[in-house]
């Protein structure tokens, strides 16, 4: 059975997870989630009253996978416009708009105005020394406010 959705772009696939309980839009080329996302989602423990924050959400895959667990709300922060848009469409296709909010913003600038019970991230793998050069290109040094 071929899945389709009006939210799916030509350069994207629509995949399922958890026996079809979760639908996931992903780019055909470039980053596609792998085993680390479901492992991290499984590792994270939540309670029904938890407010959670995902930093560097990408396509929103970890927040989506967490949607089968109890929590009050997840705020997913992603800097890249295209990935924030993809994460929003993933939230919408799964009808999770009341449970997951996607914010397009630099996590170094993000000021939530609230406290979170659970904070999680699955940062990209970067070769040693590349993080410092990335910060320097942005005019910052690690640990700077």
Could you read off the pLDDT of 61-101 as tens digits, one per residue? 999 999 999 999 999 999 999 999 999 999 999 999 999 99
Domain-embedded: residue 70: yes
Q: How confident is the model at residue 136 (pLDDT cuts 50, 70, 90)?
A: low
Residue 138 has pLDDT above 70, yes or no: no
In this predicted model, which residue has the larger pLDDT, 63 or 27?
63
The string of pLDDT tens digits covering residues 8-23 is 878 888 999 888 899 9
Domain-embedded: residue 19: no
Domain-embedded: residue 45: yes
Q: What is the CATH number of the domain that holds 104?
A: 3.40.50.150
| Cα angle value 35/83/61 (rounded, 5°) | 30
Domain-embedded: residue 86: yes
Please enumerate in sequence order all residues whose Cβ is within 8 A of that of 68, keeping only pairs 6 or more positions apart, or say none: 18, 21, 22
C-alpha dihedral (20, 55, 89, 5), degrees to nearest 10? -30
In this structure, what token pair is assigned to residue 90? 């993933």
Residue 121 has pLDDT above 80, yes or no: yes
Paired with 108 in beta bridges are none
Domain-embedded: residue 144: no
Domain-embedded: residue 77: yes
- Between 17-21, 55-59, 84-88, 136-140, the lowest mean confidence (pLDDT) is in 136-140
Nearest to 57 by CA among 118, 18, 110, 104: 104
Would the pTM count as exceeding 0.85? no
Q: How confident is the model at residue 129 (pLDDT cuts 50, 70, 90)?
A: low
- Count the domains in the chain: 1
The whole domain housing 114 covers 32-137
Domain-embedded: residue 13: no
Domain-embedded: residue 142: no
Residue 5 has pLDDT above 80, yes or no: no
What CA–CA distance (Å, rounded) separates 39 from 116?
21
The helix, strand and coil proportions of the chain, stated in percent and rounded to the nearest 5, come to: 25, 20, 55
Residue 119 has pLDDT above 50, yes or no: yes
Question: Rounded mean pLDDT of the chain?
Answer: 86
């Amino acid at each position: 059975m071929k899945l389709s959705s009006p939210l799916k772009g030509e350069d994207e696939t629509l995949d399922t997870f958890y026996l079809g309980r979760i639908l996931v839009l992903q780019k055909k080329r470039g980053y596609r989630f792998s085993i680390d996302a479901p492992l991290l989602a499984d590792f994270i423990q939540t309670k029904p009253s938890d407010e959670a924050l995902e930093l560097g959400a990408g396509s929103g895959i970890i927040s989506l996978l967490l949607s089968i667990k109890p929590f009050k709300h997840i705020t997913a922060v992603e800097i890249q416009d295209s990935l924030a848009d993809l994460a929003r469409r993933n939230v919408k296709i799964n009808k999770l708009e009341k449970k997951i909010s996607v914010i397009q913003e630099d996590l170094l600038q993000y000021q939530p105005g609230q406290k979170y019970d659970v904070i999680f991230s699955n940062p990209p793998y970067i070769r040693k020394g590349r993080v410092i050069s990335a910060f320097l290109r942005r005019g910052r040094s690690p640990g700077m406010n």
